[in-house]
Amino acid sequence: MKDLSFVQELPSREAISTPKPSTHFVDKEPAQLKKTNIDPTRRYLYLQVLGGKAFLEHLQEPEPLPGQVCSTFTLYLHFRNQRFRSKPVPCACEPDLQEGFLLEVHREGPGDSSKMADATTMLSISDPVHMVLIKTDTSSETLLVSSYFLDWRSVLSSPNGRTTLAVELLGVGSESKVPVGVLNIKLELYPQLPETLTPDIISTQQALERQKSAEKERLFLVYAKQWWREFLQIRPSHNTKLVKIFAQDENGTNRPVCSYVRALRAGRLLDTPRQAARFVSLLGHERAPVIGGGGRQEQWCTLLAFLCRSKGDCEDHATLLCSLLLGFGLEAYVCIGTKAKGVPHAWVMTCGTEGPVTFWESLTGHRYAHQPVNPDDPPLARPPKPSHPYKTVGCVFNHKAFLANCQASDAVELCVFDFRNESRWKAMSEDAIRSVCAPGATTSLPPAPPLCAPVIDAASASNEMELQIRYLVSEHRKDLGLTTVWDDHLSYLLSPALAAYELERATGVSCGNEEFQDAVRRAVPDGHTFKGFPIHFIHRNTRRAFATCLRYAKQNGPAPVSSASPASEQKLSGCAPRRS
C-alpha cells in the first residue's frame, strides 16, 4: 500500500480508474504500480492477486517464446458498480496473474455516504466481489473458465486489516462442481480499522443472511408450485407450453428468470434504444458446450460473465437487450417461445402506450411490428404472412412481471398481448417476484454490473486491420500471378459508405449515398470498374475476415469490409482493375 498516496482535496470520479490493459502481446516485465489519488474520507479494499496454481488442464503447456502468440488468461472483477480487468497472461499450470485492484467499499450506498464506513457498516454490506476468469485462444476465441463470488468480509476480523486466502475456482455449466485452479488472494483494508470484529460475529452474520435468503427462496418456490397448478387447471394442454420460471446460471444455481433482467442505464455509451439493439447484436452467439450427445445445454449467464466473454446464447442476448430497453424507459419483456421447426428461442418485445407491439431480435438487431390475426374474422382475404420468424410464445417476463400465455393457441400471429386481460395471460404476484428478484433480495442474486467504455482504440485497430488485410490480399494475388496497386485516395473515399452502412444498422436510416456515388465516379479512372459489397463481421480476426471475403468475392467480386465490435467499428477498402 506504500504506492498509494493521500491528497487533501477530494478527487473527481475520473481520478480512480483502472489501468489500461495490454491488448496485443503479453508483457513479461513486472508491472509498475502507478500512484492514484484516493479520498481520505472513504474506506477502500485493496485486492491483490498473487498468482495462480493447480490449473491442471495446462500442465503440459510449453513456455511461450518472446513475441509468440499464445492462449491467455484475463481476470475480470466487479464490486459495487466498479469494474476492473487484469493484463492478459499466458495460460499455464501456474499462471502469473499478479494484479492489484483498489475497490471503494462505501460506494453509492444508502445513508450518509460522506461518512467513512466502520466495521459494523461494512459487515452489513453483503455485496460480493464477482470474479470472472476468461481464456482467450490464439484465434481470439474466448472461453468462460470460472465465475466466482468472493465474500471479502473475513478481512474485518484481521488484527492488522490484512488477510490472505486461496480461492478455489470451479468450472462452469456441466463442470460447475469440478475445480479448475486456485488463485492466491490478499485482502487489505485502507485505512485500517480502529476496532476489528471477531470471526464469530462475521460467521453469524453470514449464516443469518443465508438463512434469510433460503427462506425467501423457499416461500417463492411454494408460491410458484401453486401458481403452476392453477395454470394447468385452466387447460391441461398448458403442460406443453414453454413457460420457464427458473433457469440455471453458469454456476448451476437455479434462479427465477425475472432475476436475470434489470433496468440498466448505459449512461452516455449508448444513445438510443436502437443503438442498444445494435450493441447487443454485435455480441457473439454461441450455445453452451455439451459433452457427448444429447439435446441442447441451456445455460443463462450472469451479466458480467456474458459481457466479459462477449458471446452467449439467445437468452443472454435477450435479457441484456430487455434490461437496456427498460433503462431507456420502454415497457419491455423477454419472450420465451419457438421459431422455425420448433427450436426454442428467446427474443424481446416492447408495448407502446397506444397498444402497438414490436418484436426485437436480439441476435440481429432487427425489429418487427406485430399484427395479430383474429381467427374469428371472416376469411375475406388471405392473412398476410408474418414478417417475424417466431412461431409460438409461452411466457413473457421482465424484472417486475411474469406472465404465462393461457390463450387457446400459443401461435404468435394469433396472440393478443393484452396483459391486463386475465383470460389471456396469467400473471405472477409482483410482490412474490420482488421478494426474490429485487436488488439485494437474496445472497444468490449477483449485483448487476455497469457498462464500460471501450478499451480498444478504434482508429488504430482499423489501421492495423487494413495493413494486415492489404498484406493478405497482395500475397493471394501474387500467388495468382497478379500485381496489386493500392489507391489510398479511393480507400479514403470508401469510408463514408462503411459509416453509412453502420449508421443504417444502428438507426434504420440511410443517408449519404448520393455524395458517395459522385465521389467514386470521379475517382475511378477510365478502363477500370468499381465493385463493392459490404460484409459485416463481429470479430477482428483478419485471416477469418479475408477467408470470408474470398468466398464472397467468388460470387460478387471484391468487397469493402466493415468489422464492428461493441466498442468500435473498423474499416478497410481497396480498388482492383477490371481483370480481377
pLDDT per residue over 269-303, tens digit each? 999 999 999 999 999 999 887 776 666 778 999 99
Residue 38, all three cell numbers: 484516493
* Residue 565 pLDDT > 60: no
- Burial code (b: 16+ CB inside 10 Å, e: under 16) for 138-148 equals eeeebebbbbb
Binning the chain into helix, strand and coil, the percentages to the nearest 5 are 30, 25, 45
* Residue 9 pLDDT > 60: no
Reported residue count of the chain is 580
Do 5-197 and 204-437 fold alike per CATH? no
**Alpha carbon distance 245, 265 (integer Å):** 25
Instruction: Please report, as a single letter, which amino acid is at residue 403.
Output: L
Four-residue CA torsion sign, 238, 243, 246, 249: positive
Four-residue CA torsion sign, 533, 534, 539, 541: positive
pLDDT confidence of 568, banded at 50, 70, 90? very low
Q: Cell numbers 458480467 label which residue?
A: 304
Q: How many CA atoms lie within 13 A of 459 on its CB side?
A: 0
Given its phi and psi angles, is residue 335 left (phi above 0), alpha (psi -120 to 50 degrees) or beta?
beta
* Residue 572 pLDDT > 80: no
Q: Cell numbers 455516504 label which residue?
A: 113
Burial class (CB in 10 A: 0-12, 13-18, 19+), 210: middle
Mean pLDDT of 215-222: 97
* Residue 18 pLDDT > 50: no
Query: What's residue 295's pLDDT?
Result: 63
SS3 449: coil
What topology is assigned to 5-197 in CATH? Answer: Immunoglobulin-like (2.60.40)
Question: Over the Cα atoms of the chain, what is R_g?
Answer: 27
DSSP 274-324: HHHHHHHHTSEE-PPP-SSSSSPPP-PPPHHHHHHHTEE-HHHHHHHHHHH
Domain range summary for the chain, segments of one domain joined by +: 5-197, 204-437, 458-572
CB-based contact 424:458 (threshold 8 Å): no
**Alpha carbon distance 323, 334 (integer Å):** 9
**Alpha carbon distance 77, 85 (integer Å):** 6
Query: What's residue 12's pLDDT?
Result: 39
**Alpha carbon distance 337, 347 (integer Å):** 8
Residues 6+ apart with CB under 8 A from 349: 332, 333, 335, 357, 358, 359, 360, 370, 396, 417
**Alpha carbon distance 82, 101 (integer Å):** 10
pLDDT confidence of 578, banded at 50, 70, 90? very low
Please give the model's pTM, rounded to 2 decimal places.
Answer: 0.85
pLDDT per residue over 123-151, tens digit each? 999 999 999 999 999 888 999 999 999 99
Higher pLDDT, residue 343 or 14: 343
**Pick among 3.40.1130, 1.10.530, 3.10.620, 3.30.70: CATH of 204-437:** 3.10.620
Four-residue CA torsion sign, 48, 53, 59, 64: positive
- Interhelix angle for 314-327 vs 273-281, to 10°? 160
Q: How many Å separate Cα 109 from the centre of its chain?
A: 25
CB-based contact 402:243 (threshold 8 Å): no
Residue 540, all three cell numbers: 477482428
**What percentage of residues in the chain have a pLDDT greater than 90?**
56
Residue 447, all three cell numbers: 449485483
Side-by-side strand order, sheet with 44-53: 98-104, 44-53, 179-190, 162-170
* Residue 66 pLDDT > 80: no
User: What is the number of other CB atoms lying within 10 angstroms of the CB of residue 292?
Assistant: 5
> Is the preceding peptide bond at 191 cis, omega within 30 degrees of 0?
yes
Query: What's residue 24's pLDDT?
Result: 40
Cα angle value 208/446/283 (rounded, 5°): 170
Query: What's residue 63's pLDDT?
Result: 73
pLDDT per residue over 441-500, tens digit each? 888 888 899 999 888 888 899 899 999 999 999 999 999 999 998 888 888 888 888 888
Residue 431, all three cell numbers: 410482490
* Residue 561 pLDDT > 90: no
Query: What's residue 242's pLDDT?
Result: 92
